[in-house]
Every structure is written in structure tokens, then in C-alpha cells.
Chains A and B, each alone.
Chain A
Amino acid sequence: MMGRLPIAKMLAATVALTAVISVVMLQIRWNGQEASTAAPKIDTLLDVMIVLSAFVFALVMVMLFYALWKFRAKPGDESDGEPIHGNTRLEVAWTLIPTIIVLFGAGYSWAVLNDIEETGDNPLTVDVFSQQFAWSFGYPGKGMAYSEGELHVPLDRQVEFKMHALDVIHSFWVPEWRIKKDNVPGITTTAKVTPDKVGTYELICTELCGFGHAAMRAKVVVEPPAEFRKWVAGLEEKVPPPYLETIRQDTETNPIPVGAGGA
């Protein structure tokens, strides 16, 4: 059966279409600007996936449109097609090849994930406080240097965010950093990022949190360490009282011990 198909030509068409789609798609900067060490790694993973996906899509299109062109019934032809019920080799092939592709993708993603979440030297811990519909940030100081609505971080140093929510779930997203983490009431969640480009960005809430959700933004400034230290030194030292309860817990990586009750 396979012998009657122009397999070589179809493969050539698939490869050509893959190349065209890949070239066009790779021109586009899908994820926007890169401003953290994780961003290029995630974007490279995306690029690899775009090429693999282009291949799968091209294969399906070539198979579909070749069939539609070649095996379209002539007008008035009422006869049936050939009684082909299957082909074991082909069926094994399209079970195994996709399995290999997705397992490769899983392994690669796993490696990238470990890479971007690795703890660096001397990370700076910043507490993130979210509530309907505002962001605040706490920096280590004598007590806690506290900033409302504006996040500053030093360039080229890993920042570990400890996130706390007061009322409902919010989510911390700076697109240029490719980092996102929910702020969950009752637990502390963490995320790590190493900003590597000076600039002003926007922190966006991405978890629906009520009528003010769309407007729940904060200004993010990445600046050289000296300027950053000066900015922190100018902050008032305090912690907003309602958050004190939530700061004590850290339950993301391990279950609450039995008996602690989580309260």
C-alpha cells in the first residue's frame, strides 16, 4: 500500500513546509522582551518546540491535502474506496514516534526547569504582599523596609520572592522575566529570578481577584546595586499587621506536619 504513495515527495514537502513555517515563526519575538537569566532559556525551549510543532503540523497538512487532492471522488462516482483496514507497522510508527518526541520535550523541559529554579549565590529575599487590588513589597532591613506599589530589585543578583496574599488568590507576573507565581492566602509561595537588564517593567496580576483585577498592577524597576541600596535606605520600616500570620508558614514544598492543623 505504502509503495503506491510518493512517500519521498510527501516527506520532502513536509520538510519544506516545516522549514517555511519555522522560519516565519522564529522571526517573531513571541514572548516580548527578555530581562532575566531565565528568559532566554525558556524562549529557546519555545523555539525548539515551535520547530517540532511546525513539523507535526506540516506532516498533518501534507497528509490531509495530498489525500484530498488525490483521492477525491469523481462526480457521479458511487463506488467505495479500497477495503484497507490498517497497517500494523504504520500504526506502531505513529504511536512510537510521537512518544519519543514528547518524552524528549519532557526531559528538555525538566532540565530547563531545574536550571531556572536553581538557587544562586547570596540571593536577596523580597517579601511580596498582595491584596485586593494592590501590591506591596518588603525588604530585609532592621525590621522590614516596606514599599507600596513599587518594586525595585538590583541588577544581576538572584531575588527570591516570598509571596503572601491577604484576601484572595493573586498571581505575580512580570512578562519580561518569564516568571509567574500565585500568591495564596494561608501559605507562602516562592519564586526565584535573576534580572539581567536595567529598566522599568510592569507587574501584572494574572489570577482573577475581583472587580479591580485588570487594574492590579505595580511598577517594577531593575537598577544597579548602588542605586537600589539607596532606594531601600529611603524606605519606611514596617510590616502591615494583617500579614504577620501568613508570613510564618511555608507549606508549598512540604505538607503541614500532622497535628499542626494549618491554623
Chain B
Amino acid sequence: MVAAIKQPGWIRGFLGAALAAAFGVGLVVVLRDISGLPIWQTEQTGYPHVVVPLVTGPLGFLAGFGAFDYWLRWAAGMPTIPEDHSQHGAKSWRDYFRFNTDHKVIGIQYICTNFFFFFVSGLLALLIRAELAQPGTQIVDPSTFNGLFSTHAAIMIFVFIVPVFAGIANYVLPLMIGAPDMAFPRLNALSFWMLPIAGLMFVGSFLAPGGAFDAGWTGYAPLSTGAPLGQSFFNLGVQFAGASSIATALNFLVTIITMRAPGMTFWRMPLLVWANLSTSLLVVAATPFIAGAQFMVLFDRALGTQFFEFAGGGDVVSYQHIFWFYSHPAVYIMMLPGFGIISEVISTHARKPIFGYRLMALALIGIVVLSYSVWAHHMFVAGMFSWLRVPMMITTLLIAVPTGIKIFSWLGTLYFGKIHTYSTAMLFSLAFIVTFTIGGISGVMLGMVPIDIHVSDTYFIVAHIHFVLFGGSVFTIFAGIYHWFPKMTGRMYDEKLGRVHFWGTVIGTWGTFLPMHWIGMDGMPRRVADYAAQFGDWNLLISVFSFLLGAAQLVFLYNMIVSWRFGPRAEANPWRAKTIEWQVSSPPPIFNFDEIPRVVGGPYEFGVPGARHAIMAGEGAEVSEPEPAKVGST
């Protein structure tokens, strides 16, 4: 027992959490006592006895679990314990439940955790659709309903879509650039372990007095500043998810900039690497804004500050400016890594170099720059300064240009290729092009102020966001999971079940989200537990399709679990791809490479005689460096 307490791990973690939470409660009690305040007063003061332990408890858990051991020893001048490489890799499922600094283990930890929350949040969505199947109130009361869609969105965004891309890149990106690991492995592990904390806070808010946070994932003040305790769970959950996101982005930036294999110039990087470089630039600069917005709301709630309290001189609309200054770039944080995945999959399965590779990379950078100048298009009817609307409309519409470049370049990649559609990853990539085009088109319409005035805050918005986030981001996530499943697990998945999942998902997505455009324009507002009887038939249809969509995800879950355990062994390069991660075994050896590969050409040189992307260990001298292919030639 004593040994277990000394060793970093779950026992020490829970002990740390309990001690730190007790310290937090004690701090509140002592401070209130010496200030002459009633010690146990809670409701009127924003529940400090819960909020403070919600900060200290998770930090205590992380400390106990071993996240800070190395740094604390170093900072205290104690002899540091050298990294024990026997801890790397995962030999059994138990190894995924340790503080592990191996990027491949962390990648899988991310993906499994994120998909756990995907299914939790998906169930919340089905509850929402069950309630909305008929007009009137059947299953949940309106307050609970508001909690359901708020937690659904918060979990999907902060603990599924944003981090699952970080998870996929965590696994794939170091292999792709020929690096043995991420630049900061301990920071990487810390980033991961903050995520389940955020997810559990969002889910745990259902247990708070007053119910889960119910001001929407946007948490607009002053609805959020006056909301019950559950809102603080959201404010703090976002801090942990945000800190995780920022740390990972810094890690990716340093890894990509400093750890590329010799010969891998920027113009030889695979587009997934470009995509994660762009995404990370967005995350490090934008995420602090949502962290700040949620801290300000928390301070208004718990410390009596007046940032958004109009009665005390605060400005209500400024919350939305700060919030959207993150949350608009956030939609690109949730899309650019997916663009990278689609480029890898389409090039590989069309057996063709990416059409217009450099323009594809520049389009990503263009999106990064433009995305900082469009946030107020969420606020056309919000009562902000009205002159701001037209400039924001123009930048919003212009961002369709680099996005269009990407769509057309993927299509161009297919021409004169040899398109293989046996892989579920390729099916999802092709379906993504269709669905995302619809989402892009409705986005351009929303960008136009006169149309937006009519449809903002209606089901049209719900339709648009799900076409870009489900039909867009989630389709790319499925493409990525199927594409690298053999590399990550060393097993092949079942393509037949993959097809069932694919068709169920595509039909479910279109059936669920397409009719929402119409009912929104026709007069149904969003975020309502009840609606006018005229929309009843459409809503029933939408609910039926949403259950089909949910059922299709069970096929995916079954396929992944059974294939991971019993699937046929995967060879190193089942898709015959050119990038470096496919040139090592599946799964890759613990240190990725016996010898760092040497990059000698572009990543997608399909059909170029004698072209190589990288020279691996042991095949060195006899391979001569080919002439680099001329970009732009036909």
C-alpha cells in the first residue's frame, strides 16, 4: 500500500485529487471565515465550495498520477528519473491507462477517449431527437432539454472533434515527418490527461444542483452569468480542454518546425502536416480567447466582477466578440486537419499526385489568416455596431475561395488517376466532398447579411453546422480512422462492415440534416423544446433518420473492437502509399525508425518513374536522388 502511494498511478492520483479538493474547500472556508462572511453560504455566492475544488481537485489528480513528477524533481534540484523506455509502447490494454509519454500510445488514448465521449454525446443527441419527434413535451422538461443540447454540443466540440484530430495527428504526424516522437513527450501526455477531466466535468454537470449547464455551448452572458451551478462546470471544463489544446498545438508547432527528417523541406511535407501546422497556428492564438471569455463569466458568477453585468456597467455584447474571436477560428480548427486527412486518402486511392500541391498548402494558410477576420458574422443581428456587418460579410464570403480551391484540387487529383473505392476511408472522403460542398454553400448564404437576418438562430443554422461538422469534420475523422487503422493496430478492419457503416452514416446524415434547412427558413427557431404543429411531420422524419444515423455508429464500434482484436494481420503498407509512416511496420517499432529516414522528394509522387519520397534505413547508398518533379507541369 505504501509503495502504491509512492508510485505515480491511479491510487496516488485519487489520493492527490482528494487532498487537493479538501485543500480547496479548506481555503474557501478559511478565507470566508477571516473575512467575516458566513462560511457555508453557497447559492448566493456562486458555490465557491464546489468551484474551487473543481480547479484544485483535477490538478491534484494530475500531480498524483505522475504528470508533474519529472518537472517537479528537476525544479526542486532532485535527481531526475531518466525516462524508462520499457514503459513505452503498449503490451496490454492496461498500458493505455498509465501516464505514458509514447506518442503512439497517447494517440490511441486520445482516439479511444474521444470516441467514448462521441458516443455519450451521440446518446444525448438521440434524446434531443426523441423529444423533438412530436410537438409538445414528452420525455424531458424544457430545462433539461436546454441542458441536453448544451452538453451535446460542448462534448462534441471540446472533447470529440477538436481533440480527436490531435489524437490522429499525435499518432501519425511524427511518423510522417520521420521523427522518433513529439518534441515534448511529457507535455504531450499531460495534454491528453487534461481531456478526460474536461469531458467528465461536462457530463458531471448533470449532477449539479439546478442541472447541467443550459445556456448553450455558446454560453451567452447574461444568461450564463445568472445560471445555476452547472454553468461553472462548463466554464472550468473549457479551461482544461483549452489548456490541453494549446499545449498540444505548441507541441505540434515545435515538432513540425524542428524535427522533420533531413531533406524534408516545407514543400516536401505531406498535406496532413501542413494542415496540422495551420491548425496549430490557429489554436495557440485563438484558444486563449475562449479561456478568457469563460474565466470572465466565472468571475462574474463567483467573484462578483461586472464584465458582462449591464447593471454594473458591463457590456453584454462584448462577451460575444471575445467568444466568437475564438469560436469562429475554432470551426477551422475542426476542419483543417480533416482537409489534411482527405488529401492523404484521395491521393493514395486515386494513385495520383495531389493536384496543385503548393496552392493546397497556401490555401490552408489563407484560411488561417482570413479566419481571424470573420468572427462577427455570428453577430449580424446581435446589436453590435451596424457598420461592422458589411466588412465581416466580405471577408466571410472570401474565405469560400481557399475552401473552393481545396474542393477543386481534390477533384483535379481524381482525373487521370486509377481510382480505387474498396477502402471505406476513400468512400468517406468522396462523400465528404459532396456533403461539405452543401455545407459550404449554405455557409456562403449565411454570410450574406440580408439572408442571415432572416435565418440566424433558426434550424437553418442547425442544418449548416451539422453539414460542416458532421458531414464535414466527422466524415474526415472516419476517413482518417479507417485509413490509419491498420497502421495503429497492425490489423485490417472489415470493409463489408465499413460499407454498412458508410451508407448508414451518409443516408442518416442527409436525412437528418437536409430537411432542417427548410423548417428553419420556414419559421422554426433553434434550441426549442417545443415547436409549432406545422413542423411535426418534418421533425418526425428527422428523428427517424437520426436514429438510423445512431444505429450505423454501432456498426462502426463493433467493427473497430472486433477487428482490433481478431482482424487479419496488416502488412506495412496495405494502401501502397508513399508517405513515411507506411514504410515502417504495422504497428511501427517502439522508436519508429532504426535510423532516421532521408527525404528525397515530394510525398505524392505516384506514377513518377523512379521517384522516391524517403529513403529508409538499410536501403541508403544504392538509391540515387531523383530530379524533383516540376510543379505546375502537366
Binds A, one of B105-113, B197-205, B218-226: B218-226
- Contact A60/B381 with A46-B445, A180-B456, A263-B313 known, Cβ cut-off 8 Å: no
Cβ contact within 8 Å between A214 and B401: no
Give the CA-CA distance A91 to B356 in the complex, in Å: 7
Residue from B313, B437, B451, B608 having most chain A Cβ neighbours under 10 A: B451
Residue from A28, A32, A49, A85 having most chain B Cβ neighbours under 10 A: A85
Cβ contact within 8 Å between B353 and A85: yes
Cβ contact within 8 Å between B382 and A85: no
Cβ contact within 8 Å between B146 and A213: yes
Cβ contact within 8 Å between A30 and B518: yes
Q: Answer whether residue A79 sits at the interface, using C-beta atoms and an 8 A cutoff.
A: yes
Cβ contact within 8 Å between A180 and B381: yes
Cβ contact within 8 Å between A91 and B414: no
Complex interface residues of chain B between 446 and 494 (CB less than 8 A to chain A): 448-451, 453-454, 456-458
Cβ contact within 8 Å between A208 and B451: no
Given A68-B421, A86-B356, 9 extra CB contacts under 8 A: A42-B453, A71-B350, A73-B418, A86-B412, A90-B356, A95-B359, A168-B222, A181-B383, A207-B220
The contact string, 1 if C-beta is below 8 Å from chain A, for chain B 576-604, is 10000000000000000000000000000
Cβ contact within 8 Å between B312 and A182: no
B381 to chain A: closest residue by CB: A180
When distances are taken between beta carbons in the complex, the residues of chain A under 8 Å from B357 are: 85-86
Give chain B nearest CB distance to A206 CB in angstroms: 4
Give chain B nearest CB distance to A38 CB in angstroms: 8
Give the CA-CA distance A261 to B457 in the complex, in Å: 31
When distances are taken between beta carbons in the complex, the residues of chain B under 8 Å from A84 are: 352-353, 355, 415-416, 634
Cβ contact within 8 Å between B223 and A64: no
Complex interface residues of chain B between 208 and 250 (CB less than 8 A to chain A): 214-216, 220, 222-223, 226
Q: Answer whether residue A255 sits at the interface, using C-beta atoms and an 8 A cutoff.
A: yes
Complex interface residues of chain A between 231 and 262 (CB less than 8 A to chain B): 252-255, 261-262
Which of B312, B387, B416, B448 is A71 in contact with, Cβ under 8 Å? B416
Binds A, one of B287-295, B526-534, B557-565: B526-534
Give the CA-CA distance A94 to B351 in the complex, in Å: 23
When distances are taken between beta carbons in the complex, the residues of chain A under 8 Å from B398 are: 99, 102-103
When distances are taken between beta carbons in the complex, the residues of chain A under 8 Å from B5 are: none
18 A-B residue pairings within 8 Å (CB atoms): A56-B441, A57-B438, A57-B441, A68-B414, A85-B632, A87-B356, A102-B444, A103-B398, A110-B390, A169-B220, A178-B454, A180-B381, A185-B222, A205-B525, A212-B142, A213-B528, A252-B383, A253-B387
When distances are taken between beta carbons in the complex, the residues of chain B under 8 Å from A209 are: 223
Q: Answer whether residue A173 sits at the interface, using C-beta atoms and an 8 A cutoff.
A: yes
Give the CA-CA distance A201 to B633 in the complex, in Å: 61
Cβ contact within 8 Å between A206 and B352: no
Q: Answer whether residue B522 sits at the interface, using C-beta atoms and an 8 A cutoff.
A: yes
When distances are taken between beta carbons in the complex, the residues of chain A under 8 Å from B350 are: 71, 81
Which of B381, B526, B576 is A181 in contact with, Cβ under 8 Å? B381
Which of B312, B382, B438 is A184 in contact with, Cβ under 8 Å? B382
Give the CA-CA distance A168 to B420 in the complex, in Å: 55
A210 to chain B: closest residue by CB: B223
Residue from A1, A173, A182 having most chain B Cβ neighbours under 10 A: A182
B395 to chain A: closest residue by CB: A106
Give chain A nearest CB distance to B331 CB in angstroms: 18
Give the CA-CA distance A187 to B320 in the complex, in Å: 15
Give the CA-CA distance A171 to B415 in the complex, in Å: 49
Residue from A84, A88, A91, A183 having most chain B Cβ neighbours under 10 A: A84
Give the CA-CA distance A85 to B404 in the complex, in Å: 18
Q: Answer whether residue A116 sits at the interface, using C-beta atoms and an 8 A cutoff.
A: yes
Cβ contact within 8 Å between A178 and B453: yes
When distances are taken between beta carbons in the complex, the residues of chain A under 8 Å from B215 are: 208
Cβ contact within 8 Å between B416 and A81: yes
Residue from A5, A49, A179 having most chain B Cβ neighbours under 10 A: A49
Cβ contact within 8 Å between A113 and B389: yes
Cβ contact within 8 Å between A67 and B414: yes
Cβ contact within 8 Å between B522 and A32: yes
Give chain A nearest CB distance to B218 CB in angstroms: 8
When distances are taken between beta carbons in the complex, the residues of chain A under 8 Å from B521 are: 30-32
Complex interface residues of chain B between 527 and 553 (CB less than 8 A to chain A): 527-532
Give chain B nearest CB distance to A254 CB in angstroms: 7
When distances are taken between beta carbons in the complex, the residues of chain A under 8 Å from B529 are: 214
Give chain A nearest CB distance to B354 CB in angstroms: 8
Q: Answer whether residue B310 sits at the interface, using C-beta atoms and an 8 A cutoff.
A: yes
When distances are taken between beta carbons in the complex, the residues of chain A under 8 Å from B383 are: 181-184, 187, 189, 252
Give chain B nearest CB distance to A17 CB in angstroms: 13
The interface of chain B, by Cβ under 8 A from chain A, is 141-143, 146, 214-216, 220, 222-223, 226, 310-317, 350-359, 381-387, 389-390, 393-394, 397-398, 400-401, 404-405, 407-409, 411-412, 414-421, 430, 433-434, 437-438, 441, 444-445, 448-451, 453-454, 456-458, 518, 521-523, 525-532, 576, 605-608, 611, 629-634
Give chain B nearest CB distance to A102 CB in angstroms: 4
Cβ contact within 8 Å between A253 and B418: no
Residue from A30, A32, A178 having most chain B Cβ neighbours under 10 A: A30
Give the CA-CA distance A202 to B522 in the complex, in Å: 13
Which of A63, A91, A103 is B397 in contact with, Cβ under 8 Å? A103
Q: Answer whether residue A61 sits at the interface, using C-beta atoms and an 8 A cutoff.
A: yes
The contact string, 1 if C-beta is below 8 Å from chain B, for chain A 185-202, is 111010000000000001
Give the CA-CA distance A254 to B414 in the complex, in Å: 52
Cβ contact within 8 Å between B418 and A79: yes
Q: Answer whether residue A45 sits at the interface, using C-beta atoms and an 8 A cutoff.
A: yes
A94 to chain B: closest residue by CB: B408
Give chain B nearest CB distance to A66 CB in angstroms: 9
Cβ contact within 8 Å between A86 and B418: no
Cβ contact within 8 Å between B416 and A1: yes
Residue from A78, A102, A112, A253 having most chain B Cβ neighbours under 10 A: A102
Cβ contact within 8 Å between B315 and A88: no
Q: Answer whether residue A121 sits at the interface, using C-beta atoms and an 8 A cutoff.
A: no
Cβ contact within 8 Å between B530 and A215: yes
Cβ contact within 8 Å between A49 and B223: no
Q: Answer whether residue A105 sits at the interface, using C-beta atoms and an 8 A cutoff.
A: yes
- Contact A98/B401 with A84-B355, A110-B390, A213-B528 known, Cβ cut-off 8 Å: yes
When distances are taken between beta carbons in the complex, the residues of chain B under 8 Å from A57 are: 437-438, 441
Counting from the closest, the 9 A-B pairs by CB-CB distance are A186-B310, A81-B417, A214-B528, A80-B607, A67-B414, A206-B457, A73-B418, A102-B397, A81-B352
B410 to chain A: closest residue by CB: A64
When distances are taken between beta carbons in the complex, the residues of chain B under 8 Å from A46 are: 445, 451
Give the CA-CA distance A262 to B394 in the complex, in Å: 31
Q: Answer whether residue A218 sits at the interface, using C-beta atoms and an 8 A cutoff.
A: no
Give the CA-CA distance A112 to B354 in the complex, in Å: 41
Give the CA-CA distance A205 to B630 in the complex, in Å: 58
Which of A61, A180, A262 is B457 in contact with, Cβ under 8 Å? A180
When distances are taken between beta carbons in the complex, the residues of chain B under 8 Å from A179 are: 453-454
Give the CA-CA distance A38 to B530 in the complex, in Å: 29
Cβ contact within 8 Å between A79 and B316: no
Give the CA-CA distance A185 to B146 in the complex, in Å: 21
Complex interface residues of chain A between 138 and 179 (CB less than 8 A to chain B): 167-169, 171, 173, 175, 178-179
Q: Answer whether residue A53 sits at the interface, using C-beta atoms and an 8 A cutoff.
A: yes
Cβ contact within 8 Å between A85 and B355: yes
Give the CA-CA distance A19 to B248 in the complex, in Å: 48
When distances are taken between beta carbons in the complex, the residues of chain B under 8 Å from A230 are: none
Give chain A nearest CB distance to B578 CB in angstroms: 10
Give the CA-CA distance A63 to B448 in the complex, in Å: 27
When distances are taken between beta carbons in the complex, the residues of chain B under 8 Å from A210 are: 146, 223
Cβ contact within 8 Å between B394 and A106: yes
Give chain B nearest CB distance to A122 CB in angstroms: 22
A263 to chain B: closest residue by CB: B313
Q: Answer whether residue A131 sits at the interface, using C-beta atoms and an 8 A cutoff.
A: no
Give the CA-CA distance A171 to B300 in the complex, in Å: 23
Cβ contact within 8 Å between A67 and B450: no
Cβ contact within 8 Å between A85 and B631: yes
Q: Answer whether residue A83 sits at the interface, using C-beta atoms and an 8 A cutoff.
A: yes
Cβ contact within 8 Å between A95 and B416: no
Give the CA-CA distance A208 to B441 in the complex, in Å: 26
